[in-house]
Chains A and B, each alone.
Chain A
């Protein structure tokens, strides 16, 4: 069974700190790893990673994938209170028969204190 494990499950830091969120996975026929941010409503897409070692960057957020060690990290620098959310890691695996849904981790609940 495909598995996605995120750590830590919750994290409380002060504004301005840098945080690193972890995601490890065990899937058959890996296709891609995705990061989402969920505040009060639907998850919003952050990054999709398919290749090892290539950093994706968007403002203060960046993410990298290690396909050999089967993990990804999401970094947030100079955190702001608006970064407080649940960060979800999901993995897409190919069954060979077409599109599959995503397997999600339990998420990291990040709280940024002013």
Chain B
């Protein structure tokens, strides 16, 4: 009954390859995100999707593309992987309770990507 799940947990691949990371949430949240955590543990947002619409793209290279088949899924595709892409990638989902001025965001377990 995991709320936000990601696969795979670990991904080791060579430079130049194309890879995907999958994310699914069963919380009924309406927005999903991808974050990158670098070697210094700094978390930075990459994308968010709300109702299949991209809202944020924080100067991420266009080798990265999020794909959302439905509200419960947001997959991350990465083309032509580079050494600098090595990091932990976290998926998250959120819901705004506008009437209560409340917001919650929960994270997936992370995918450790190593590019060799």
Chain A residues with a Cβ under 8 A of chain B: 31-32, 34, 36, 38, 41-45, 48, 50, 86, 88, 90, 92, 97-104, 106-107
The interface residues of chain B lying within 8 Å CB-to-CB of A31 are 101, 103
The answer to whether B45 touches A102, judged by C-beta atoms less than 8 angstroms apart, is yes
Complex: chain A residue closest to B55, CB-CB? A98
The interface residues of chain B lying within 8 Å CB-to-CB of A106 are 40-42
Contact A100-B56, Cβ < 8 Å, known A41-B110, A42-B108, A106-B40 = yes
The answer to whether B102 touches A99, judged by C-beta atoms less than 8 angstroms apart, is no
25 contacts between A and B (CB under 8 A): A34-B105, A41-B109, A41-B110, A43-B43, A45-B104, A48-B102, A50-B102, A50-B103, A88-B43, A90-B43, A92-B103, A92-B105, A98-B50, A99-B30, A99-B50, A99-B94, A100-B48, A100-B56, A101-B35, A101-B48, A101-B58, A102-B45, A106-B40, A107-B41, A107-B42
The interface residues of chain A lying within 8 Å CB-to-CB of B96 are 99
Contact A101-B45, Cβ < 8 Å, known A31-B103, A42-B109, A45-B104 = yes
The interface residues of chain A lying within 8 Å CB-to-CB of B58 are 101
Contact A104-B55, Cβ < 8 Å, known A41-B109, A42-B109 = no
Report the Cα distance A106→B101, complex, angstroms: 26
- Please tell me if B64 contacts chain A, counting CB pairs below 8 Å: no
Interface class of chain A by DSSP:
strand
Report the Cα distance A48→B97, complex, angstroms: 13
Report the Cα distance A90→B44, complex, angstroms: 11
Report the Cα distance A102→B55, complex, angstroms: 13
Question: A82 to nearest B CB, angstroms?
Answer: 19
A97-B55, A99-B96 given; 20 more Cβ-contact pairs under 8 Å: A32-B103, A34-B105, A41-B109, A42-B90, A45-B105, A48-B104, A50-B101, A90-B43, A98-B50, A98-B55, A99-B31, A99-B48, A100-B48, A101-B35, A101-B58, A102-B105, A104-B42, A104-B43, A106-B40, A107-B41
